[in-house]
Structure 1
Amino acid sequence: MLAGTELGQSKSQDGAVEIIRTLRVARRSAMKARTQAANQLRAVLVTAPDQLREQLRGLSLARLVATATRFRPGEPDTLEAAGKLALKCLATRYRQLDEEIKALDTQINRLAHQAAPALMSIKGIGPDTAAALLIAAGDKPDRLHSEAAFAHMCGAAPIPASSGNTLAICRLSYDPRAQAYATRRTSEGKTKREIIRCLKRYLAREVYKAITSDNTTTRGTPPAITDLAA
């Protein structure tokens, strides 16, 4: 870039993907706050009076939230009443944040299907994963000059990296192509780590093709796993 021979294209930040990114900022904040509320619920319960602790001990998080929101503690003049009021406030906050996250998920899901139907059609890619991939590529993925460039950006180039592990491992559990590929490479002496690394590279290729096809009139099929480089 300093020499002026390679000039990259920046993200446009003015389309559907930018809308998704903005909503994910709010979602990430709500997720963090919900986790904090859940942790504080458990912390208050640990130090609550014996009678209250025994009443709530062993409840799942969902049942604890449901029970605590029904408390009618009255004035917090006793330790038990104060504990109930604190638990009720935290449980109410958790429930409100949960509803907020669900509302944001609904909108992100709708926008992801509109912006990238081909990407969303790939088994194993849900709205949140699709949103993250779309944000990485930007509103104009054609600015990435090749699928190899996209793979490097995702950390899925043929070098040891953890990106895409979950999706690659999921593919091994249900995709006959991935299973056949793993069997063949295992017989050739490849380790599981090496096989997953190659699968991640394939997944980056498939995702890139889906993302770019959503921005053109051309549709194509993903490459066969057997075409992967060693």
Structure 2
Amino acid sequence: MTHPRPVVFMGVDTHLDIHHLAVVDQLGAPLGDTQVPATPAGSAAAVVFAAGHGEVAAAGVEGTGSYGAGLTRFLTDAGIVVVEVNRPNRAERRLAGKSDPIDAYAAARAAASGRARTVPKDRTGTVEAIRAIHTSRRGAVKARTQAMNQLRALLVTAPAGLREHLRALPTHELVDACARLRPGHDLADPTAATKTALRRLARRIQQLSEEITDADIDLDTLTRQAAPTLRAQPGVGPDAAAKLLITAGDNPHRIGSDAAFAHLCGVAPIPASSGHTTRHRLNRGGDRQANNALHTITLTRQRHDPRTRAYTQRRTTEGLTPRDIRRCLKRYIARELHPILTADLAALTT
């Protein structure tokens, strides 16, 4: 007579080069732990090690969107349920200490107890492609802003003749003029050295602007392909659509309701009541990129959407401040866009 295999749970503390794996039973009792390299072969070894203790019911993985992304994909392909595990809070760490085995066992127990229930993003579809393009665009925007600030700061201390010639120009003309500067060959001369630096910064800005333009074209194409109905909504441009899609991931079923989506975007008010006082406070958590996307959509609709303009006017007469009105609108927009977003992604994956 064959006996059924015991049910076990995995927990993984992920790192750049290695992962520490722990296995517990249904009651959270430790069964063993090991260390594997952060490679496909290491992921396979982790599955073999966990399966040697019983039937793996679920795996709790820290950092499914960073160091644990490759392991998460491998476990999912192997048919193992993966849940996202947050790192232990500070109070628990002060009591239990900090080490890779401790964190791995904590992740396994979080999966076993059901405390960790968040389904990680699926990173195998069009949304992952959008995330890659958007990441490069965001980096280019930051680098261009930094280069522009450096150019203007250098212009402030430039020799008088050069400064007076360039300081009154608008930004676009300033960059073009600096890119055309001819510094000469005597770099020991402050004017020549300043012209050289300004030209290099200006050409860097031009190159980054081209990268941003190319990324915008790619995002426009990809977001229209992935979420055409979402893109048709008022105020939803390529950047805002990309941020919302990245927040949702390629598996929209993991967000069960518009309330969950609002919390994920950081636009759901948090109860802060006590005693006879009933109030809510601003939610400063959630995905700040998605929050920024909803903020952009809100501002655009307040300027151009008749329905939103009428709502803003009505709430203003009721005594709400512009900031409170925007917060209400962001929550309403999250409620409106959630079913549209999930329907578009569901159609994309079928």
Asked if the contact 1:161/1:197 (under 8 Å) is kept, the reply is no
User: What is the number of equivalent residue pairs in this alignment?
Assistant: 217
**1:23 corresponds to which letter in structure 2?**
I
Asked if the contact 2:252/2:346 (under 8 Å) is kept, the reply is no
Partner-residue secondary structure (3-state), 1:119: helix
Asked if the contact 1:158/1:198 (under 8 Å) is kept, the reply is no
Q: Residue 21 of structure 1 is aligned with which of 131, 143, 162?
A: 131
Q: Which runs of 5+ in 2 are unaligned?
A: 1-109, 271-281, 285-290
Asked if the contact 2:262/2:334 (under 8 Å) is kept, the reply is yes
1:6-155 map, 5 Å: 7-75=117-185, 76-155=187-266
**2:131 corresponds to which letter in structure 1?**
R
In structure 2, relative to structure 1, the CA distance for the partners of 1:50 and 1:193 (3 Å cut) is: closer
Q: Which runs of 5+ in 1 are unaligned?
A: 218-230
Asked if the contact 1:118/1:210 (under 8 Å) is kept, the reply is yes
Deviations, residues 126-172 of structure 1 (Å, cap 9, x unaligned): 11111110011101112111111101111122443474344324323
Q: 1 CA distance for matches of 2:343 and 2:332?
A: 17
**2:311 corresponds to which letter in structure 1?**
Y
**1:130 corresponds to which letter in structure 2?**
A
Q: 2 CA distance for matches of 1:89 and 1:58?
A: 20
Q: Which residue of 2 aligns with 1:170?
A: 300
Q: Which residue of 2 aligns with 1:198?
A: 328
Q: Which residue of 2 aligns with 1:156?
A: 267
In structure 2, relative to structure 1, the CA distance for the partners of 1:46 and 1:11 (3 Å cut) is: same
Q: 1 CA distance for matches of 2:333 and 2:314?
A: 18
Q: 1 CA distance for matches of 2:158 and 2:324?
A: 51
Report how far residue 70 of structure 1 moved.
1.1
Report the TM-score when normalising by structure 2. 0.57
Q: 2 CA distance for matches of 1:91 and 1:192?
A: 39
Report how far residue 185 of structure 1 moved.
4.5
Q: 2 CA distance for matches of 1:42 and 1:94?
A: 12
- Structure showing greater relative contact order (alpha-carbon pairs closer than 8 Å, 6 or more residues apart): 1
Asked if the contact 1:38/1:94 (under 8 Å) is kept, the reply is yes
Which structure features the higher share of helix residues? Answer: 1
Moved more, 158-167 or 147-156: 158-167
Report how far residue 215 of structure 1 moved.
2.8
Return the index of the structure with the highest Cα Rg: 2
**2:169 corresponds to which letter in structure 1?**
L
Report how far residue 187 of structure 1 moved.
5.5
Moved more, 127-136 or 2-11: 2-11
Report how far residue 78 of structure 1 moved.
1.6
Report the TM-score when normalising by structure 1. 0.84
Q: 1 CA distance for matches of 2:197 and 2:115?
A: 62
Q: Which residue of 2 aligns with 1:224?
A: none
Deviations, residues 67-86 of structure 1 (Å, cap 9, x unaligned): 11111222124211111111
1:207-226 map, 5 Å: 207-216=337-346
**2:229 corresponds to which letter in structure 1?**
A
Report how far residue 52 of structure 1 moved.
1.0
In structure 2, relative to structure 1, the CA distance for the partners of 1:73 and 1:142 (3 Å cut) is: same
